[in-house]
Amino acid sequence: RSPPVLPPPRPANSLEVAAMPLDYSKWDKIGDDSDDEAKPNKPKAAAPAKPASISEPAEAPAPAPAVAQSQEHKRPLDDAPDIELPEGAWTKYYTESMTAPQRMQTMVHLWNSAVQEERVDFLRHLIDIIGNPQISNRIKGGQEILKDLDTSFYDGVTYPAKWVDNFKDKMPTADKKVVFEKLFKSLDNQERGLVLGTLM
């Protein structure tokens, strides 16, 4: 019997060849519920899932037990420095003085404090930061992606409330995008995966 005919091997740079321009249009009509028809039919997860395309250390534990068992995640963060741009002590505080659940809780509250139009800008900026259509094209479109994130997953976990107040009331959208960029880039791969998992 003749052996099966295999397709020719893909070139090493096939990802670059196949790369498509990023399509921002699915976030343009934030008031149009018709986008809901294009959403993937996925059950809503109780906790953010980590996308497969993000490298994930095999030894990395799931975040839920840590939130439930440790008191360090509930430590008051009143000593957090003010957010100052372009640079400031706040970024070091975020990475070195806060636990992973506290970092996630902070990003959730910053997101929830923004209006929908700002959230669209945040998503577009995040897509530019990622720079990988294979990941960004999996981000949901339509109204669902712009809703408030559920804070109950990190119930009891502290965050710098003054950061959220300043972010909400005093910062222009351009500065808010910079804050989100700095926070996202400071995360490790597992934490970035958690952030992206809430958007897919």
Closest CA to 177 of 142, 113, 130, 126: 126
- Kindly report the average pLDDT of the chain as a whole number: 76
Residue 129 burial class via C-beta count within 10 angstroms: exposed 0-12, middle 13-18, buried 19 and up:
middle
What confidence tens digit (pLDDT) does each residue in 62-102 have? 444 444 458 899 999 999 999 999 888 999 999 999 999 99
CA distances to 83, 141, 178, 183 from 27, rounded to whole Å, are 28, 6, 20, 22
Closest CA to 74 of 157, 183, 152: 157
CA atoms of 183 and 104, how far apart (whole Å)? 10
What confidence tens digit (pLDDT) does each residue in 92-127 have? 999 999 999 999 999 999 999 999 999 999 999 998
Between 143 and 82, the more confident residue is 82
Residue 58 has pLDDT above 60, yes or no: no
Residue-level pLDDT at 3: 53
Maximum mean pLDDT: which of 26-35, 55-64, 166-175: 166-175
Confidence of residue 166 (pLDDT cuts 50, 70, 90): very high
